Chains A and B, each alone.
Chain A
Amino acid sequence: MYDLRCENVTKRFGDFTAVNNVSFDIPSGSFFSILGPSGCGKTTLMRMIAGFETPDEGDILIKGRSVLKDAPNKRNVKMVFQHLALFPMMTVGENIAYGLRCRGDARSEIGGRVKAVLERVGLPGVEDKQISQLSGGQKQRIAIARCMVLEPDVLLLDEPLGALDLKLREHMKIELKQLQHQFETTFLYITHDQSEALVMSDNVAVMNAGRFEQIGPPKELYENPVSGFVAGFVGDSNRWSGRVDRVSGGTARIALDGGETVLGTPGAGGLTDASEVEVFVRPEAISVGKGDEGCTLSGTVDSLLFNGANSRILVRTNSGKLIEVADQAGVSGVAEGDAIDIHWPGHLALCFGKGAA
Chain B
Amino acid sequence: MRSDAGKLSLILLMAPFALWILLLIVLPQLGIGYVSLREKVGPGQFTFGFGNYLDFLGEPIYWNTLLRTAWMSILVTILALLVGFPVAYYIAKMARQRSRAALFLLCLIPLWVSDLVRAFGWIVLLRETGLVSGALQWAGLISGPVELLYNDVTVVIGLVYTVVLFMIVPLVSTLDGMDDALLEAGYNLGGSRLTVFRRIIVPYAMPGIVAGCIITFMLTAGSYLTPILLGGKNSSWFTEQIYNQFITRYNWEAGATFGVLLLGFTSLVIWLGLKLTGQSLATTVAKD
Residues of chain A at the chain B interface (Cβ within 8 Å): 50-52, 71-73, 77-79, 81-83, 85-90, 98-99, 102-103, 146-147, 150
Q: Is the CB of A81 within 8 A of B184?
A: yes
Known A79-B185, A146-B189, A150-B190; 13 more pairs at CB < 8 Å? A71-B187, A73-B187, A77-B188, A79-B184, A79-B188, A81-B181, A85-B181, A87-B199, A87-B200, A89-B204, A99-B189, A102-B191, A103-B190
Give 17 CB contacts A-B under 8 Å: A52-B187, A72-B187, A72-B188, A73-B187, A73-B188, A79-B184, A81-B181, A81-B185, A85-B184, A87-B185, A87-B199, A87-B203, A89-B206, A98-B186, A98-B199, A147-B189, A150-B190
Task: Let me know if A98 and B203 touch, CB within 8 A.
Answer: no
> Does B195 interact with chain A (Cβ within 8 Å)?
yes
B186 cross-chain contacts in A, Cβ below 8 A? 87, 98
Q: Does A85 contact B190, Cβ atoms closer than 8 Å? A: no
Residues of chain B whose beta carbon lies under 8 Å from any beta carbon of chain A? 179, 181-182, 184-192, 195, 199-200, 203-204, 206
- Measured CA separation A71–B189 after assembly (Å): 12
Q: Are B188 and A102 in contact (CB under 8 A)?
A: no
Tell me what chain B mostly uses at the interface: helix, strand, loop, or mixed: helix
List the A side residues contacting B190 at CB < 8 Å: 73, 99, 102-103, 150
Query: Which interface residue of A50, A85, A90 has the most chain B CB atoms within 10 A?
Result: A85
State whether A82 touches B181 (Cβ < 8 A).
yes
- Complex alpha-carbon distance, A28 and B199, angstroms: 33
CB contacts (< 8 Å) of B188 on chain A: these are 50, 72-73, 77-79
Nearest neighbor of A71 in chain B, beta-carbon distance: B187
Shortest C-beta distance, B257 to chain A (Å), equals 42
* Interfacial chain B residues near A89, Cβ < 8 Å: 203-204, 206
Which residues of chain A have C-beta atoms less than 8 A from B189's C-beta?
73, 78, 98-99, 102, 146-147, 150
A190 to chain B, nearest CB (A): 14
Closest residue on chain A to residue B195 by CB atoms = A102
| A-B pairs with lowest CB-CB distance, top 10 | A99-B189, A102-B190, A85-B181, A85-B185, A89-B203, A72-B187, A81-B181, A73-B187, A102-B191, A79-B188
A86 contacts which chain B residues (CB < 8 A)? 185
Using known A-B contacts A73-B192, A98-B199, A102-B192, determine if residue A85 contacts B187 with beta carbons closer than 8 Å.
no
Q: Which residues of B contact A88 (CB under 8 A)?
A: 204
Q: Give Cα A89 to B208, complex, Å.
A: 14
C-alpha gap A147/B182 in the complex (Å): 14
Chain A residues positioned under 8 Å from B181 (CB to CB): 81-83, 85
Q: Point out which of B182, B188, B203 has the most chain A C-beta atoms below 10 A from its C-beta.
A: B188
What's the least CB distance linking A68 to chain B, in Å? 16
Report how far A83 CA is from B179 CA in the complex, Å.
Answer: 9
Smallest CB separation, A65 vs chain B (Å)? 17
| Min CB–CB distance B150 → chain A (angstroms) | 45
The distance in angstroms between the C-alpha atoms of A289 and B207, with both chains bound, is: 70
Kindly provide the distance from the CB of A175 to the nearest chain B CB, expressed in whole angstroms. Answer: 21
Q: How far is the CA of A102 from the CA of B182 in the complex (A)?
A: 15
A98-B184 Cα distance, complex, nearest whole Å: 13
By the criterion CB–CB under 8 Å, are A85 and B199 in contact? no
Query: CA–CA, A98 to B187, complex, Å?
Result: 11
CB proximity of A54 to chain B, nearest CB, Å = 14
Min CB–CB distance A93 → chain B (angstroms): 14
- In the complex, A256 Cα to B264 Cα: how many Å? 87
Bound state CA distance, A147 and B188, in angstroms?
9
In the complex, the chain B residue whose C-beta lies closest to that of A47 is B184
Nearest-Cβ distance from residue A67 to partner chain B, whole angstroms: 13
Pair B184/A87 contact, Cβ less than 8 Å: no
A103 to chain B: which residues have CB within 8 Å? 190
Cα of A147 to Cα of B181 in the assembled complex, Å = 14
- Determine whether the beta carbon of A98 is less than 8 Å from that of B182: no
B residues near A50, Cβ cutoff 8 Å: 184, 188
Cα A13 to Cα B190 with chains together (Å): 27
Nearest residue (CB) in A for B205 is A89
Q: For the complex formed, measure the closest distance between the CB of B60 and the CB atoms of chain A, giving whole angstroms.
A: 44
Complexed CA–CA distance, A146 and B188 (Å): 11
Bound CA span A83–B181, Å: 8
The reply to whether B191 and A98 contact each other, CB–CB distance below 8 Å, is: yes
Closest to B183 in A: A85
**What's the Cα separation between A257 and B186 when bound, in Å?**
55
Nearest residue (CB) in A for B182 is: A85
Instruction: Report the separation of the CA atoms of residues A78 and B185 in the bound assembly, to the nearest whole angstrom.
Output: 9
Contacts of A83 in B (CB 8 A): 179, 181
In the assembled complex, the Cα of A146 lies from the Cα of B185 at a distance in Å of: 10
Q: Nearest residue in A to B180 (C-beta to C-beta)?
A: A85
Contacts of B192 in A (CB 8 A): 73, 102
> In the complex, which residue of chain A has the Cβ closest to the Cβ of B191?
A102
